[in-house]
Every structure is written in C-alpha cells, then in structure tokens.
Amino acid sequence: MRVLILADDCNPCWPSLPVVGYKFARAIADYAEVTVATQIRNQSNIEKAGFGKAKVVYLDTEKVAAPLYKLAGLLRGGSNKAWTTQIAMNYPSYLAFEWEAWRHFRRELQAGCFDIVHRVTPMTPTLPSLIASRSPVPFVLGPLNGNLPWPKQFRDEQVRERELLSQLRAAYKFLPFYRSTYQRSACILTAFSHTAADLPPSAIDKLIDFPEIGIDPELFQRVERQPNQRLTVLFVGRLVPYKLPEVVVRAFAASSILQQHQLIIVGEGPERPRLEALIQTHNLEQCVKLVGQKSQAEVGELMRNAEIFAFPSIRELGAGVVIEAMACGMACIVVNYGAPGELTQNGKGEKVNLGNLAAIADEFTTKLEKLILNPAQIDSFSSQAYAYAMQYFTWDQKALKMLEIYEWVKTKQGSKPSFWQPQNQPCKSREPAGIPD
C-alpha cells in the first residue's frame, strides 16, 4: 500500500497535536510504503528523532505561515489562550501548505504512484482540504476532533480562556472547499461522537470511529504496584481554566481523609498562581505538590508510581492523557463530558456529573474518598483500563487498523471496518460501533 500522508503539524518534540501526528504517521510507515509531506519548520526535530521507515518531504510555506502565526499570537494574548482564534488564523496557512503539496505531488498522483492520500493533520473539522476534490486517488480525512460546546456553567472560564470567538465557530461551514472536502473524501475518521454530530449529511456513510489518541507502551505501561499506606492522586495537564486543576486542590482542602495522602500536579500555565494561593490558604503544603512541566518519560514514571488519576477538565476533545493513565494502570476519575466521559464508560473509571465548579469539586471529593477507602475498586478500574488501552490504543494497533481501512477504501470490498472490531475479523454493521464495553 503506497500512502501519501499530509501532516502539516508533525513534530516529535512538540506536545499535543504535532507529536500525535508524528507518532501516527511513523507507525503507519511500519506497515505501508509511506511518504509524509510536512512543514519545513519540523525538519530539525524530525531529523534528530528519525522517522522510522517513512520518506519525508519538507514543504516551505513559511512566508505565509510565519507572519500569520505571529499575528495570531498577538490576538490571542498568549500561547495558552484563545485556541479558536489560532485555528481561524491557520486557515490561509493551511491552504498554502496543501497548495504547495499539490504542486509537488500532482504528477506522481496522476501517474498512479500512490494508492491513498491521507490527511492526518490538522485534525480539526473546521479546516477544509484543497486536495480532497483534486486527488485522482481516494482521499482519507482524519482523525477529526472538535465541536465540543463550552458548558454553560463555565462562561467565566470561557472568558478567561479568551474563547469568545468559539461562538462563531459554525462560520467554517461557509469557507471555500468545505463542501468538496466532505463530498469527495472517500473515508472520514472521527474521534468521538461530539465531532461526528457536526458533520454534513453527505459524510455520514463515510464515517468511521477512530480516536486520534494513542500510547507508546515503552513510555506508558502498567507495573505491579506495592501496597502503600499513603496513596498518590495525580493530575497531568496544562494549568489553564478549562482543565479545572483547582477542583482537585479544593477536594483535598475539604477532606481530612484525602489530606492523609498526597496530590501531585504536573504542568504549567496561567492557573499556577491561583493553585499556589489555594494551597497556602488551606495549609496543604505537606500533601499537595506542584512539580511543573515534565517530559513524557517522566510523566509515565509518575503515573506508574501513583494510584489515582484525577482529571476534572470540562472541555476535553481527545484526552490522550487519560489513555496514558489507563495504560499505566491508574484508576481514573473524570468529568462525564466529552472524550474523558466516553473513554471511562462501562467500568473503566469513575465519572463525575457535569455541574458548576462547586458541584464538581464536591463530587470529586466524595469519589476520591470512596476510592482511597476501597483498594479493591482501584484494582478493578486499573485492570479494566489497562486492558482497554492496550487492546485499542497502542500506535502499533492503530496502524494495523489503518491498513485495514486503507484496503477497504481502495477496493470498496466487504463491510466498512470498525475501530472496535478485532483485527482480521469481519464487521457485521456498517455503522460506527461506538466505544465498546
């Protein structure tokens, strides 16, 4: 299978989307003949880390992308705010990238040198593709993720995140190439139900559930934990308003039971002074630690040495960190909204109802206390979560499933593949299966 992967964001050293795009493309290259087209800005880090068996072509559109990125930074008022503004400013930059990719690969595509074109990044459904309608070979789009509304209870956090532009998000459906992208794509991968619900009717028959998140077992792997009288609760994430790191601190402040154990908070961001003030006000210095930003390897080590993962984010699109915690055998407590709620259903974790800040903090307190007082429940969540993460979310497993999808797209023979169906077993349904038990 000869695949041209379009990956504008593709960098082994940059967190979130760029590293996901890099790892996914590298894993696919273990099973297919892959050429990756990416931005020249990624070249130095890719060459240091290597790209496995993939061939890489670097495209230079920095004359367009660099000034727009700087302008977006000014409008956002910081790198940790106003992500919707950043995405909107990426539209002309991404069109420039795909135009350059089309110029570079057009003759090869027309000559039949590739079987599939797959746009891996960007993963937002709000940035349409120029190549989708031009490609002479089947075009695969995704995984896409987005369209999770801000909860009404957290308008203050939305203002602090400078996300008011998100109220105009639906305007993307009027952008050039929007209709042709979804009409001409042969297959569209959608990460979660909140994304699939936003796509046009023309896309429905082409949709396949396919979460974008993945894990490296060498970094995130369960170990046998020794019994410990003092348990560790872990939070990992950017310290920004919508992730609500203060919820876990408030839970410890409200509970003498929790204060006999410890909370470790990994991450940096504008909420850190707020957290430091809460810790000081409630005299939690002996049981709550802020340890700053850590590498993936360091996060994996912390997860293997902690028992409970507390993640109260109220607008989480992908929640890759939840799958990483599951892979390390942690018992997860999350807010039942967006990706975390879907990932932890059916006994794979504890879910807190979406409410206002006080209600979420109260329920986190109660559920953390119950878990700490019930080691058998921690073990049950740990076992189920670990098995789930390893069955579906290693990059190797995801690459194998992607090859199955490519073959279906190329031949249109057999039933539409399902992400949740074991490898090499026929699927009985052509509809997205949803997250399994």
Amino acid code (one letter) for 318: G
d(CA 408, CA 415) in angstroms, rounded, equals 8
pLDDT tens digits, 161-182: 776 666 666 778 888 999 999 9
Report pLDDT for 267. Answer: 96
Instruction: Please tell me the total number of residues recorded for the chain in this structure.
Output: 437
Nearest one of 288, 309, 306, 289 to 352, comparing CA atoms:
309
Report pLDDT for 148. Answer: 86
Q: What share of the chain is helix, strand, coil (3-state, %, to 5)?
A: 45, 15, 40
Alpha-carbon Rg of the chain, whole angstroms? 22
pLDDT tens digits, 138-156: 999 999 998 888 888 888 8
Report residues of the chain scoring pLDDT below 70. 72, 75-86, 88, 163-169, 423-437
- CA contacts within 13 A on the Cβ side of 135: 29
Nearest one of 98, 90, 110 to 5, comparing CA atoms:
98
Contacts of 414 (CB under 8 A, 6+ apart): 408, 426
CA angle 242, 247, 251 (to 5 degrees): 170
Report pLDDT for 387. Answer: 95
| Per-residue DSSP letter, 237 | S
d(CA 139, CA 162) in angstroms, rounded, equals 35
Q: What is the CATH code of the structural domain delimited by 232-392?
A: 3.40.50.2000
Report pLDDT for 168. Answer: 63
The verdict on pTM exceeding 0.85 is yes
Give, to the nearest 10 degrees, the angle between helix 62-76 and helix 83-110: 160
Report pLDDT for 6. Answer: 98
DSSP E strand stretches across 17-145: 33-39, 55-59, 116-121, 139-144
Amino acid code (one letter) for 166: S
Nearest one of 210, 195, 220 to 400, comparing CA atoms:
210
Q: For domain 2-214+394-411, say whether CATH 3.20.20.60 is its number.
A: no
Report pLDDT for 142. Answer: 94
The residues with which 422 forms a beta bridge, in sequence order, are: none
**Helix ranges (DSSP H) in 161-265:** 178-184, 193-196, 245-253
Contacts of 196 (CB under 8 A, 6+ apart): 190, 207, 209, 432
Give, to the nearest 10 degrees, the angle between helix 357-372 and helix 375-392: 110
Tokens of 19: 């590293």
Report pLDDT for 81. Answer: 59
pLDDT tens digits, 393-428: 999 999 999 999 999 999 988 889 999 987 654 443
Sheet holding 288-292, edge to edge: 288-292, 262-266, 232-236, 308-311, 331-335, 350-352
Tokens of 43: 């070249």
Residues of the chain with CATH 3.40.50.2000: 2-214+394-411, 232-392
CB 352 within 8 A of CB 364: yes
DSSP E strand stretches across 201-354: 207-209, 232-236, 262-266, 288-292, 308-311, 331-335, 350-352
User: Token match 């990426």: residue?
Assistant: 90
| Beta carbons within 10 angstroms of residue 348's beta carbon | 24
Give the helix/strand (H/E) hosting 430: none
d(CA 357, CA 20) in angstroms, rounded, equals 31
Peptide bond into 201 cis (omega under 30): no
- CA contacts within 13 A on the Cβ side of 418: 16
